[in-house]
C-alpha cells in the first residue's frame, strides 16, 4: 500500500529542496549544514538528524516533486529514472514534517508521517537536461520521486547513477570532503 503525501511542481533556487522536522528547522532552511556527512552520492543528504536535503539539477525554476509513504519497500523504479539513491532517516515521534525550497521561498507541511526509522529512496529523471537550463523556464524538465518506508537504519545505497550531473555532484562532494579532511588534519597539528 502506498499513500501519496505530496505531488506538486516546486519553485526553487539553487536546486534546493528540504524535508525538515524537529525544533531546529528554522536555522536549517537555506543552509545545508552537515547534509552530506557520511554520504558519497552528491545530491541526497541525510547527515543532519533534523532533515533530508535534495539538490535538484535545475538551478532555478520549477520541478515536479512526488513524496510517497509505502507500507513496505517498493520495487526499484524503471531505468527511465536515471539516478536512484537510498539513505536512512529517523523522524521523531509526533514530529511535524515540512518541506522547503531554498531559503523558505516556498514551503508546506506534509500530512502526518508517523515517527520512526525510514529508508528513503530518491528517484530522479531528467537531471542532465535540467542542469543545462540557465533561465527560469516554464517547461517541466526534471522529476523527483521520494519514497519512504519504515526500515532499520542502513548505509547509503547508490542504486544507479546514470547522468553526468549526478556524477559531477559525486566528484564535487568527494573534493569537498577531501579538502575538509586536509583542513582538519592541519588544524590538529
Give the integer Cα–Cα distance in Å for 74 and 13.
30
- Nearest-CA neighbor of 73 among 151, 137, 170? 151
pLDDT at 24: 57
Question: Which set of grid coordinates corresponds to residue 45?
Answer: 543528504
H/E segment holding residue 87: strand 83-91
Local confidence band at 82 (pLDDT 50, 70, 90 cut-offs):
very high
Cross-sheet strand order for the sheet of 107-109? 44-45, 51-55, 16-20, 98-101, 107-109
Q: Please indicate whether residue 163 or residue 139 has the higher confidence score (pLDDT).
A: 163
On the question of pLDDT at 35 being above 90, the answer is no
- Contact between 87 and 154 under an 8 Å Cβ cutoff? The reply is no
pLDDT at 185: 59
Q: Which residues pair with 70 in a beta bridge?
A: 2, 149
Place of cell 530518491: 122
Q: What is Dmax (Cα atoms) for the chain?
A: 55
Over the stretch 94-139, which tens digit does the pLDDT of each residue have?
Answer: 899 999 887 777 889 998 899 999 999 999 998 888 877 655 556 7
User: What is this structure's pTM?
Assistant: 0.85
On the question of pLDDT at 147 being above 60, the answer is yes
Give the integer Cα–Cα distance in Å for 174 and 67.
28
pLDDT at 27: 46
Place of cell 543552509: 31
Local confidence band at 30 (pLDDT 50, 70, 90 cut-offs):
very low
Amino acid at each position: 500500500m502506498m499513500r501519496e503525501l505530496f505531488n506538486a511542481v516546486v519553485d526553487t533556487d539553487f536546486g534546493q529542496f528540504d524535508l525538515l522536522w524537529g525544533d531546529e528547522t528554522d536555522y536549517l532552511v537555506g543552509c545545508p549544514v552537515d547534509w552530506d556527512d557520511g554520504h558519497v552520492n552528491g545530491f541526497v543528504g541525510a547527515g543532519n538528524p533534523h532533515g533530508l536535503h535534495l539538490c535538484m539539477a535545475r538551478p532555478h525554476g520549477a520541478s515536479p516533486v512526488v513524496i510517497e509513504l509505502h507500507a513496505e519497500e517498493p520495487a526499484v523504479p524503471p531505468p527511465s529514472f536515471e539516478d536512484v539513491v537510498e539513505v536512512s532517516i529517523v523522524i521523531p515521534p509526533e514530529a511535524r514534517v515540512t518541506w522547503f525550497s531554498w531559503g523558505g521561498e516556498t514551503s508546506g507541511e506534509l500530512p502526518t508521517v508517523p515517527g520512526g526509522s525510514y529508508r528513503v529512496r530518491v528517484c530522479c529523471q531528467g537531471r542532465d537536461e535540467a542542469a543545462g537550463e540557465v533561465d527560469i523556464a516554464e517547461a517541466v524538465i526534471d522529476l523527483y520521486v521520494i519514497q519512504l518506508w519504515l526500515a532499520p537504519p542502513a548505509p547509503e545505497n547508490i542504486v544507479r547513477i546514470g547522468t553526468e550531473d549526478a556524477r559531477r555532484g559525486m566528484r564535487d562532494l568527494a573534493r569537498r570532503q577531501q579538502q575538509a579532511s586536509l583542513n582538519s588534519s592541519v588544524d590538529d597539528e
